Amino acid sequence: MVDVCFALVGSVPHNSRALRQLRALARLGLRIEAFGFGPPAALSADLQPLVRYYALPLPERQGPRFFWQAHRRLSAALRTRRARVYHASDLYVLPALAAAARRHGGRLVFDARERYPYVAGTAGRPFRQHFWKLVERRYIHRADLVLTVSDGIADHLVRDYGIAPPLVLYNAPEAPAAADPSASLRRRLALPDHVVVFLYQGHLRPGRGCLLPLEALPDVSDAVLVYLGEGPLAPIIRERSTALGVADRVHLLPPVLPDELLAVTASADVGLVLLEDTCLNHRLALPNKLFEYLAAGVPVLASDLPELRRVVETYRVGCVVDPANPGALAAAMRRLAEDPTLRRRLAANTGAAFAAHSWAHRAPLFQEAYRNLLCDA
């Protein structure tokens, strides 16, 4: 028997939230097995002796069939895995872990990273919304501990299901980071000092505002747009930048491992968090990139959505804008590009904003919740 069986759909070594939680559990001296999907990958050196990681084959199908296959593969892997706590790091693995917890008498943790029935992929698809809500409703009541990523999602889960308030663990790094000259975007791209670097980091997927700053870039002089990530929109970004005549000012770079990311982020001038208001989940989201920018001391340009607005305006760390308004977005980008004093003033406030949301601030609450679970297990 191990203390914790941890699983998610995706690669654990490439998931910053999973790595933070695993490190916090390892510091408690717990024996942990983690399961993910995708090509074999190694955990970082500090976790390798403490966490045994299994990468299951990634299903080739899409949609509901993908998740049905993932469920079957994970269920088979967990059939004989006895643990004191089963930690479902997303809704898609929750049924398999709930079954294992019931089979072996373990406790169940559910990390509600999203408002799953209301993500972009279910928008305008009431059957899918209804299906995932049924799944979530059935299993969330079996969880002994529910975690989530924002106060808005926590409140919504309480209203929807009548559960106790979830523990909010923001998607924030553990500690701030300073720029590393060897990891500098400006140095890597040979950019002059006067050129302002707008950074978008994360998956290049529809609904995340990837294309919006690109459309505004022709109206913003002395600025470049750097994408740090990959996804289906990458070829569209290349084609569109050429059509707009700004290909020389748009740079697509591959993603960086979570433990190496902040040193790169810190070399940007403005971080972009331009989620589009396409679903409830986006309206309630606080994405990783927001806190990564703050940890690196980078001011932000964010969508005027409730949770993002609360952080940005409360701590005065950036500007909010309606991303669906091209003129307003271009004006906000010009203002930030042309006013270095404003950027410095906003950057000076990032430390307080990050400290209030950092993983170091929340990890003790997470560890205490786990101690209580294990005492009862």
Q: Band of the pLDDT at 322, cuts 50, 70, 90?
A: very high
Give the Cα separation of 235 and 238 in Å (integer).
5
Same domain for 157 and 96, yes or no, is yes
Is residue 13's pLDDT more than 80?
A: yes
Is residue 54's pLDDT more than 80?
A: yes
**Interval 287-309 mean pLDDT:** 96
**Interval 144-155 mean pLDDT:** 97
Question: Which SS3 state, helix, strand or coil, does residue 345 take?
Answer: helix
Long-range contacts from 247-254, C-beta under 8 angstroms, 24+ separation: 249/217, 249/223, 249/224, 249/225, 250/214, 250/217, 250/224, 250/225, 251/189, 251/224, 251/225, 251/226, 251/227, 252/227, 253/185, 253/188, 253/226, 253/227, 253/228, 254/228, 254/229, 254/230
pLDDT of the residue at 321: 97
Per the domain annotation, does 325 fall within a domain? yes
Q: Band of the pLDDT at 45, cuts 50, 70, 90?
A: confident
Per the domain annotation, does 199 fall within a domain? yes
Is residue 43's pLDDT more than 70?
A: yes
Per the domain annotation, does 296 fall within a domain? yes
Same domain for 93 and 137, yes or no, is yes
pTM: 0.90
**Total residue length of the chain:** 377
**Interval 149-157 mean pLDDT:** 96
Give the Cα separation of 98 and 256 in Å (integer).
33
Give the Cα separation of 329 and 268 in Å (integer).
19
- Taking only the tens place, the pLDDT of each residue in 219-270 is 999 999 999 999 999 999 999 999 999 999 999 999 988 888 999 999 999 9
Per the domain annotation, does 101 fall within a domain? yes
Per the domain annotation, does 175 fall within a domain? no
Per the domain annotation, does 370 fall within a domain? yes
Q: Band of the pLDDT at 63, cuts 50, 70, 90?
A: confident
Same domain for 245 and 347, yes or no, is yes
Same domain for 128 and 199, yes or no, is no
Same domain for 198 and 282, yes or no, is yes
Same domain for 48 and 31, yes or no, is yes
Cβ-Cβ contacts under 8 Å for 89 (sequence gap 6 or more): 6, 7, 8, 15, 17, 18, 21, 111, 113
325 phi-psi bin (left φ>0, alpha ψ -120 to 50, beta other): beta
Question: Of all helices (H) and strands (E), which one includes residue 55?
Answer: strand 51-56
**Interval 331-358 mean pLDDT:** 97
Q: Would you give the distance in Å from CA 355 to the centre of its chain? A: 18
Same domain for 146 and 213, yes or no, is no
Per the domain annotation, does 176 fall within a domain? no
Same domain for 89 and 48, yes or no, is yes
Mean pLDDT taken over the chain: 95
**Interval 94-116 mean pLDDT:** 97
The CATH code of the domain that includes 342 is 3.40.50.2000
**Interval 99-107 mean pLDDT:** 96
- Taking only the tens place, the pLDDT of each residue in 186-213 is 999 999 999 999 999 999 999 999 999 9
Give the Cα separation of 39 and 213 in Å (integer).
33
Per the domain annotation, does 297 fall within a domain? yes
Percentage of the residues of the chain whose pLDDT score is greater than 70: 100
**Interval 171-185 mean pLDDT:** 88
Same domain for 166 and 214, yes or no, is no
pLDDT of the residue at 248: 96
Is residue 368's pLDDT more than 70?
A: yes
What share of residues in the chain are helix, strand, coil (percent, to 5)?
50, 15, 35
Question: Which SS3 state, helix, strand or coil, does residue 250 take?
Answer: strand
**Interval 128-143 mean pLDDT:** 95
Q: Would you give the distance in Å from CA 29 to the centre of its chain? A: 26
Same domain for 18 and 67, yes or no, is yes
Same domain for 6 and 18, yes or no, is yes
pLDDT of the residue at 377: 61
pLDDT of the residue at 3: 96
Q: What range does the domain containing 335 cover? A: 181-357
pLDDT of the residue at 167: 98
Give the Cα separation of 153 and 125 in Å (integer).
21
Q: Could you give the number of structural domains in the chain? A: 2
Same domain for 142 and 187, yes or no, is no
What does the block give as tokens for 356? 């209030």
Long-range contacts from 308-314, C-beta under 8 angstroms, 24+ separation: 308/273, 308/275, 311/286, 311/353, 311/357, 314/353
